[in-house]
Amino acid sequence: MKISAIVAIVVIVAVVGLGVFFVWDTTPPVVSVTPQSGPVSARMTLVMTLRDPGSGLKNLTVEAVQGNKKTAILAREYPAGTREVRETFTIAQQPGLKDGPFKLNVEVGDRSSFNLGRGNSTALSLDFDYQNKPPAVTVLSIAHNVSRGGAGLVVYTINREVQKQGVVFGDRFFPGYRQSGDVYACLFPMPYNLPAERFVPKVLAVDRAGNERLTGIYYHLLPKSFRSDRIELKDPFLDKISGEFKHLFPQAATPLEVFLKANRELRDHDLKILAECAQKSSPTPLWQGDFLRMPNSAPRGAFAQFRSYFYHGKLVDQQTHLGIDLASLPHAKVPAANHGKVVYADDLGIYGQCIVIDHGLGLQSLYGHLSRIDVKVGDEVQKGQIIGATGDTGLAGGDHLHFGVVVSGEQVNPIEWWDGSWIKNNVTDKLEEAKQQATPAR
């Protein structure tokens, strides 16, 4: 009997305590709005988070105030026990709401009986700029002759600050880089395997309010064909590959299975690393003139070469080689192709020991199958500086250099970048013209 009485007293005390807390909750709701200020458009989504762990949320009102006009944006009533809510909304086109500054007034109440039953409330008044007109984009460069598997450069101006800009086609986006004032430049690739009908490059600009502009450019796609090759897989080569990659594929039962898994599965991994390297590119060019080809070397594999792999006369795999193989003496010295900054220096899947150098504007060079790496991430290198030595690491079948050129994560034909005239006509001259047309930043 005594135990029951004690339990009853404890329950009564707890209920009374909760009731007092509810009645005398003096803590107002917590409100956060993203963004908190700046430009917004009718299509831009705002996010609001409301919390009241005490008595709980009761209601919410949101209105826009511009001059003497008030426009209701959002009104909510919340059921008892609501402690946290996330609201998303837009400042949709409203009669009388015009482009220009306005205030967003937010008021949130809770269910506390404090303040003579009116409860606690939180009020915010945030300053925004209503913008619904897309940014103006003017393309300055005229000729854009782009080869399949190659690259092009477009120069353009944007009349206000943007959060995203670059070149788009299909489902792909390649970022541009601000050069000076309101002038931007975007180096973009034409992927070797993209159908011609999907290559319709346009300049995209999205301002801070979320308004979007797409502007076409004049371009001409130059056709180009690529070689095919038949590769016979030999057991000594497969044993070498198995020794290098077996730890990644422990379930593979034979050296051939190890090779096939490495040849197929590591490529996607390598592309992700190259995409990460692209995020570390300088906004302005670091290179000067044409790119240096490794001296005294002979080509042993071409860009976009379609390779068919046979084992004992049976076709076992097919892949595309995205670079140029250059063979010289064993462990030949490898020079940096141009001025730049090292953004990767480590093992990279099929490329083995590998270096990636950034040259700015999303342009990077890749050196694969190295036997030795003489630089580290963050090093600034000069054209011709020795950065390592050739080797047969990764999926190499013999000592050589795999040299690649990458534009914003997409591998392109290195031959263009060995050609000083091509660089001058398609890249450098356009950048020089852009500097002359630049205006002060807005």
pLDDT tens-place string over residues 418-429: 999 999 999 999
Angle separating helix axes 255-278 and 235-245, nearest 10 degrees: 50
pLDDT tens-place string over residues 163-214: 999 999 989 999 999 998 899 999 999 999 999 999 999 999 999 999 999 9
What pLDDT was estimated at residue 245? Answer: 95
Question: What homologous superfamily does CATH list for 228-412?
Answer: Glucose Permease (Domain IIA) (2.70.70.10)
pLDDT at 15 over 60: no
What pLDDT was estimated at residue 9? Answer: 45
First to last CA, the chain: 82
pLDDT tens-place string over residues 290-336: 999 999 999 988 999 999 999 999 999 999 999 999 999 999 999 99
What whole-number distance in Å separates Cα of residue 267 and Cα of residue 243? Answer: 19
What pLDDT was estimated at residue 271? Answer: 94
Question: What homologous superfamily does CATH list for 137-224+427-437?
Answer: Immunoglobulins (2.60.40.10)
Range(s) of the chain covered by CATH 2.60.40.10: 25-130, 137-224+427-437
What whole-number distance in Å separates Cα of residue 266 and Cα of residue 259? Answer: 10
Among residues 163, 156, 283, the alpha carbon closest in space to that of 212 is found at 163
pLDDT tens-place string over residues 44-77: 899 999 999 999 999 999 999 998 889 899 999 9
Please state which of the ranges 14-18, 39-43, 170-174, 358-362 shows the lowest mean pLDDT: 14-18
Quote the DSSP letter at residue 4: H
Q: What is the share, in percent, of the chain residues with pLDDT greater than 70?
A: 92
pLDDT at 21 over 50: no
pLDDT tens-place string over residues 128-157: 999 989 999 999 998 899 999 999 999 999
What pLDDT was estimated at residue 350? Answer: 96
pLDDT at 289 over 80: yes
* CA 68 to chain CA centroid, nearest Å: 43
CATH of domain 25-130: 2.60.40.10
Q: What is the share, in percent, of the chain residues with pLDDT greater than 90?
A: 82
Range(s) of the chain covered by CATH 2.70.70.10: 228-412
Count of CB atoms situated within 10 Å of the CB of 435: 12
Whether the predicted model's global pTM rises above the 0.75 cut:
yes
